[in-house]
Amino acid sequence: MQLVVARVGRAHGIKGEVTVEVRTDEPELRLGPGAVLLTDPASAGPLTIETGRVHSGRLLLRFAGVRDRNAAEALRNTLLIAEVDPDEQPEDPDEYYDHQLMDLDVVTKDGMEVGRITEISHLPSQDLFVVERPDGTEVLIPFVEEIVTEIDLDEQRAVIDPPPGLIDDRAEIDSSRDTEIASAKDDEDSSGADA
């Protein structure tokens, strides 16, 4: 199975190094020296990583045969793709590869169907599930243990305990409207008692 593990950014310096946007939780495994990566577009590769280093918080890679800034710049926006055994599992039992989570059914803890995971968005602060609802709309679910309470790969589902308003904006609006109605009724009752 093929997984996108990085995207090539701009050239760094004049000796062929490039910045990369890492798209894997295991960069030391997938982007280490000697790794051979397929590319998208395919015409740019395959590429063999010659060296890698971190500079100012960014990963810099140099590929075999890429010796100058022009050659490095020509790789800009190329996706780097690793060939991965589909049965491979992360070492930590609470971690998952994106391909394991794709297409899982998302249900609430009381069994209400929410939708299906169509994408995992990796943000600096947290990961998000992009979930397509049965009506075709999308909802974003933060992949944090307080909300995603269970991942069951055998049953192909993710169980969530969403806070009010996360998956149904109407629930939040309805509850605030109910509070306003109850408050207005209390005001009427108290004003009637004064008369």
- pLDDT tens for each residue of 137-186: 999 999 998 999 999 988 999 999 999 888 875 444 444 444 454 555 55
What's the confidence (pLDDT) of residue 73? 95
What's the confidence (pLDDT) of residue 61? 94
Instruction: Starting at the earlier edge strand, list the strands of the sheet with 127-132.
Output: 138-142, 127-132, 113-122, 105-108, 157-160, 148-152
What's the confidence (pLDDT) of residue 45? 84
Q: Bridge-partner residues for 100, per DSSP?
A: none
* 71 or 190, higher pLDDT: 71
What's the confidence (pLDDT) of residue 173? 40
What's the confidence (pLDDT) of residue 165? 85
- Among residues 73, 127, 58, 50, the alpha carbon closest in space to that of 95 is found at 127
Q: With bands split at pLDDT 50, 70 and 90, how would you rate the model's confidence at 67?
A: very high
In Å, how far from its chain's centre is CA 167?
Answer: 18
Structure tokens at 44: 């740019």
* 90 or 48, higher pLDDT: 48
CA distances from 167 to 65, 75, 87, 164 (A): 50, 40, 32, 8
The stretches of the chain forming alpha helices (DSSP H) are 27-30, 69-73, 98-101, 169-194
Q: Bridge-partner residues for 180, per DSSP?
A: none
- Among residues 43, 51, 46, the alpha carbon closest in space to that of 67 is found at 51
DSSP state of 43: G
What's the confidence (pLDDT) of residue 19? 93
Range of lowest pLDDT (39-48, 76-85, 119-128): 119-128
Q: With bands split at pLDDT 50, 70 and 90, how would you rate the model's confidence at 46?
A: very high
CA dihedral 164, 169, 175, 180 (to 10 degrees): 130
What's the confidence (pLDDT) of residue 28? 79
